[in-house]
Amino acid sequence: MTIKSQPQDGLRVASQEDLVVRYGLRRPPELTPEIASRRWRELNRLIQACMVLHEVGRDRRPFQRLLRSAATLVGASRGIFLVRCDNESALELAASSGFVKGVPERLRCANEQAAATLKSGKPILVCRPREARLQEELRWMGEPSCVSFPILREGQSWGVVQLMKGQDFTEDEAVLLWMFALVVEDALPSLVRTARASEIPDAGSTGFISPVAFEAKLDWELECVLWGGRSCTLLRISLAAKRAESSSDVLHQSGVLRAIRQCVRPTDLVSCESSGDLLVLLPETNAAEGQQAAQKIRRSLVQSRVLGEEHAVVPSLRIAQATCPEQGRRREELLRSLDSQT
C-alpha cells in the first residue's frame, strides 16, 4: 500500500521536475473576482465544505469525508487520498472513492503525479497528456484528467489528494482545491483535539472496556496519529502468575484494575483479551513514555499483591509494548509486534 514518492534514479527525478514544469499550477491560491463570477457554484460548495470541516473530527473515517468533500467541490468521479509514511520516500493510501473494484495495484506502487506534487508542494493539473507514461497512469486512474494537490502539516509535505473526471479540469478548479487544502491544513490541529475529546467508551460493571469498543477506539487513535503527528502506545499485560482455574475471578477483581488505573490517565483505556491478557491504550504517548507507564504498572501490580506474592509474580509478569508509528500504523501491525515479544 505504498507509493514511492522520491525515487533515487536520476532520470526519474528529472522527469518529475519536468512534469512540474509542464503541468504545475502557476496561479496562487487566491480568490479573484473573475473566479468568483465564473465559478460561483463551486465557490458555494467550497464554503459548505469548509463549514462542515469541524464535523470531520467526529467521523470514524475522516480521510474519506475530506476526499468526498473535495470531489464534490469540482464534480470529480474518482479520488485518492495519500498520506506520507514515516519513511519520507513513500506514501500510504488512506482513502479512495469511485473505484468500484478497488484502487488498482499499479496506483498503489507507482504514481508519478502524486510523487511530483509531494515534491513540489504545488498542485499539478494533467489533462489528456502527450507523454506515454502519463497516458498509461491515467488509464489506470480510469479518467483522462487528474488534478493532484498537496496538503501540508506543520509546514511539511504530508499528503496528496488526487481527483479524476472525464472532462478536463480547469485552472480555476485547481485554485479552489488548493484553497480548500489550505483550510484543511489550518484545521488539522483542531480536528485532532475534537477527535480525542470524544466520549470514552463505557467500561461496564467490570471496569474493562469491551473488546469491540477498544478496537474501535484504537483504530480511531491510529487515525489521529496520522492527522496530528503524535505517537500512541499499546501495552499487553500477561498475568501468567494466576492459577488457571481462578483466572477469571482474579482477572476481574477490582484490585487489578485499580492497580493499573493509578498508573495511567483517565483517557487511557484498559480491555481484556479472550486469552485473559490485558490491553492498555495510551493515546499521545511515545515509546519512552510508554516504557515508563509499563514500569509503573508492573511495580503497582507487584506491590499490590493482587496477583499473589511478589516472588511468584515477578518472574512471570510480562508487559509487551508497541508504539505507533514505529511498530506499525494499523491495529494488526501493533498486535503482531506485541505477539513477537511474548
Percent of the chain scored above 90 by pLDDT? 31
Q: What CATH architecture does domain 211-340 belong to?
A: 2-Layer Sandwich (3.30)
Task: Report the candidate in 275, 290, 281 with the shortest Cα–Cα distance to residue 215.
Answer: 281
Angle at 280 between CA 274 and CA 285, to 5 degrees: 150
The domains of the chain are located at 2-194, 211-340
Strand order in the sheet with 278-282: 269-272, 278-282, 232-239, 317-324
pLDDT in tens, 164-195: 999 999 999 999 999 999 988 887 777 766 66
Average pLDDT over residues 273-286: 90
Residue predicted with more confidence, 239 or 244: 239
In a 3-state reduction of DSSP, which class is residue 154? coil
Give CA–CA dist 116/18, Å, rounded: 9
In a 3-state reduction of DSSP, which class is residue 232? strand
Q: What are phi and psi of 7, to 5 degrees?
A: -60, 155
- In sequence order, which residues have a C-beta less than 8 Å from that of residue 83 and are 6 or more positions away? 63, 91, 92, 94, 158, 159, 226
DSSP letters along 40-52, please?
A: HHHHHHHHHHHHT
Q: Is the dihedral of CA 122, 128, 133, 139 positive or negative?
A: positive
Give CA–CA dist 92/108, Å, rounded: 8
**Highest CATH level, class, for 2-194:** alpha beta
pLDDT in tens, 111-126: 889 989 988 889 999 9
Task: Report the candidate in 178, 180, 134, 157 with the shortest Cα–Cα distance to residue 5.
Answer: 157
Average pLDDT over residues 236-256: 61
**What's the pTM value of the predicted model, to 2 decimals?**
0.71
